[in-house]
Chains A and B, each alone.
Chain A
Amino acid sequence: MAGLNKSSFTNPVVNWIDTRLPVFTMMQKEYGKFPTPKNFNYMWNFGALAMINLLIMIITGIFLAMNYQPNTQLAFNSVQHIMRDVNYGWLIRYVHQNGASMFFIVTYIHIFRGMYYGSYKAPRELLWMIGVVILLLMMATAFMGYVLPWGQMSYWGATVITNLFSAFPVVGQPIVTWLWGGFAVADPTLNRFFSLHYLLPFVLLGVVFLHVAALHVVGSNNPLGIDVKTPQDTVPFHPYYTVKDSVGICVFLLVFALLVFFMPNLLGDPNNFIPANPLQTPPDIVPEWYFLPFYAILRSVPNKLGGVCMMFGSILVLFVLPWLDTSPVRSARFRPVFRVLIWVWVASVIGLGMVGAHPPTGIWVVLGRVCTIYYFFHFLVLLPILGKMERTLPLPESISRPVISGNSGGGGGLPSGAAARPMEKA
């Protein structure tokens, strides 16, 4: 019986299972006792929120797929059938439709948190890179999902985005034909997009599992960006962060509910209520809001291939962010210059979003180019230089030190020498 797990659970059924398959021990270790820095702020809710959001999308998606018809003749009407005739079909669909937007809001804030507090730095580089893979999968899934209702924006969005690949010399056009399964976006395209739109979320779930697994190897970062040194720095994940995450979940669901029940089409495009018409392009083709910054980068580059490369590059650059940022200090709290520049970068992304929503004329062209240049300038020039030049603020000795300083033994106050190398294990 050497192979049996020694389970500490007293419930006989749980114990019986746990000795043979230690899932309860694992859950206890990873989500029960898991020592978590005790100084998280609410920005640390967004990972859990994204997880919940993914589950909401998968569940509502499964029920939508029961009634959806991936056929160009039937798709638009089947969505209307869901909205009108299926019991609570309108609710399931509006949750799924707005869930996509909520997913990106939550994920973008989650990414911003990682950037602001330097969560991508050693030893969390791989954790961060897996996160970028998640973002790419999310984007692919969202794009293909938007095609399924087969409205005008679905059709023309699919046409424009798949045509991006035609920018590549020689292989471009064959790739586009291959993506379409024909010579235009049509039934084969819709069918494969439906198949992949159903598949990718489960791939996403698997990659999220890796993301969490990697997180649990290196442990969470925290707002101070310094390493956990003693048990005093942590609290067990349950109940402290399960409950704190629940607060976040309530607020998240509240915002979600306001969208779904009171303005379900606020973030949608009226054109998608017009069935796809391959003979007529809508006056303005605009992607969903969460793609607008990347769309703006695409349009800001006067060269077709250049635009495509810059657009993909704007996400791929995130893969190497851990090495572009040379500063040894993680948290922006102790980096006075970075703390300003990160907001300038956010402003450039928002600027790009605005540019993406407007026809490329006049001031929008200029703004788009300025923001595009700054976006890359931030990553490729500012961050590497800043890490070497910036005078960072002194780091606290430990997570519990700033709080308990003064009433317990040992110095008190912040030792100025602690700013040096937070990533080196104490």
Chain B
Amino acid sequence: MAENAATTHSGTPGTVTKRDFLQLVALAGAGIGAGAIAWPLIDSMNPSADVLAVSSVEVELAPIETGSGITVMWQGKPIFVRHRTAKEIKEAEDVKMSELIEPQPDSARVKPGHAQWIVVIGICTHLGCIPLGNKPTDPRGEWGGWFCPCHGSQYDTSGRVRHGPAPLNLHLPPYAFESDTKIKLG
């Protein structure tokens, strides 16, 4: 269909510019509006208030005997908390960096003054299995830490990988000591 004869003339050039400017502003406004509409929808898929409310967990350390560990759930992940013996601490601190797959001193993996407590995310950095070693009956592997049954990765008492195929040390969750016998995860 041909253009309407009545609409082919568009007034003086001046009005065209002004109309174009108005259109530009209106379009920009519509863009802002669309963005403002999109954000609540996108944000609704972020963790909701009830999920966030349990995103930090407090753990009582007092019941954990020296040399043993417990597993707690935090944000849907198992967290290994182990009370290390003096011998284990010394071994972990004395390891030469050159022997490690991902070199990291033990001091960087515990909180200052709380070297007896090692807290790691209990997920093997290879393919996501849960390593054994937190229960008294579990095998702990050659380095006395954790042993992953899936592909034989082994971790030391600092949670550092000592034997492949895992490429990285066990990750550390964010946590802080609320008191000497209580930590807060997250």
Q: Using a CB–CB distance below 8 Å, which chain A residues touch chain B?
A: 33-35, 38, 59-60, 63, 66-67, 81, 84-89, 91-92, 231-232, 234-236, 240, 246
Which of B38-46, B142-150, B167-175 contacts its partner? B38-46
A87-B43 CB under 8 A given contacts A81-B48, A81-B50? yes
Q: Which residues of A contact B46 (CB under 8 A)?
A: 87
A89 adjacent to B4 (CB under 8 Å): no
Instruction: Please measure, in the bound complex, the distance between the C-alpha atom of A89 and the C-alpha atom of B44, giving whole angstroms.
Output: 6
A88 adjacent to B4 (CB under 8 Å): no
Q: Which residues of B contact A81 (CB under 8 A)?
A: 48, 50
Interface residue? B62 (CB, 8 A): no
Closest Cβ–Cβ distance, residue B34 to chain A (whole Å): 12
A92-B41 CB under 8 A given contacts A81-B48, A85-B48, A87-B48? yes
A231-B48 CB under 8 A given contacts A87-B40, A87-B43, A92-B41? no
Q: Which residues of B contact A234 (CB under 8 A)?
A: 1, 4
Instruction: Please measure, in the bound complex, the distance between the C-alpha atom of A89 and the C-alpha atom of B30, giving whole angstroms.
Output: 23
Closest Cβ–Cβ distance, residue B16 to chain A (whole Å): 13
In the complex formed, the residue of A with least CB distance to B4 is A235
Instruction: Please measure, in the bound complex, the distance between the C-alpha atom of A232 and the C-alpha atom of B43, giving whole angstroms.
Output: 49
In the complex formed, the residue of A with least CB distance to B1 is A35
A232 adjacent to B48 (CB under 8 Å): no
Interchain Cβ contacts under 8 Å between A and B, 30 examples: A33-B1, A35-B1, A38-B6, A63-B41, A66-B44, A66-B45, A67-B44, A81-B48, A81-B50, A84-B49, A85-B48, A85-B49, A86-B48, A86-B49, A87-B40, A87-B49, A88-B39, A88-B41, A88-B43, A88-B44, A89-B48, A231-B2, A231-B4, A231-B5, A232-B4, A232-B6, A234-B1, A234-B4, A235-B7, A236-B3
A85 adjacent to B50 (CB under 8 Å): yes
Instruction: Please measure, in the bound complex, the distance between the C-alpha atom of A89 and the C-alpha atom of B39, giving whole angstroms.
Output: 12
Q: Which residues of B contact A231 (CB under 8 A)?
A: 1-5
A236-B4 CB under 8 A given contacts A87-B40, A88-B40, A92-B41? yes
Q: Which residues of A contact B5 (CB under 8 A)?
A: 231-232
In the complex formed, the residue of B with least CB distance to A89 is B44
Partner of B44, one of A87, A235, A240: A87
8 pairs of A and B residues whose beta carbons are closest in the complex = A88-B40, A85-B49, A35-B1, A85-B48, A87-B43, A85-B50, A86-B48, A87-B44
Partner of B40, one of A92, A232, A235, A246: A92
Instruction: Please measure, in the bound complex, the distance between the C-alpha atom of A232 and the C-alpha atom of B8, giving whole angstroms.
Output: 11
Q: Which residues of B contact A63 (CB under 8 A)?
A: 41, 44-45
Q: Which residues of B contact A67 (CB under 8 A)?
A: 44, 48
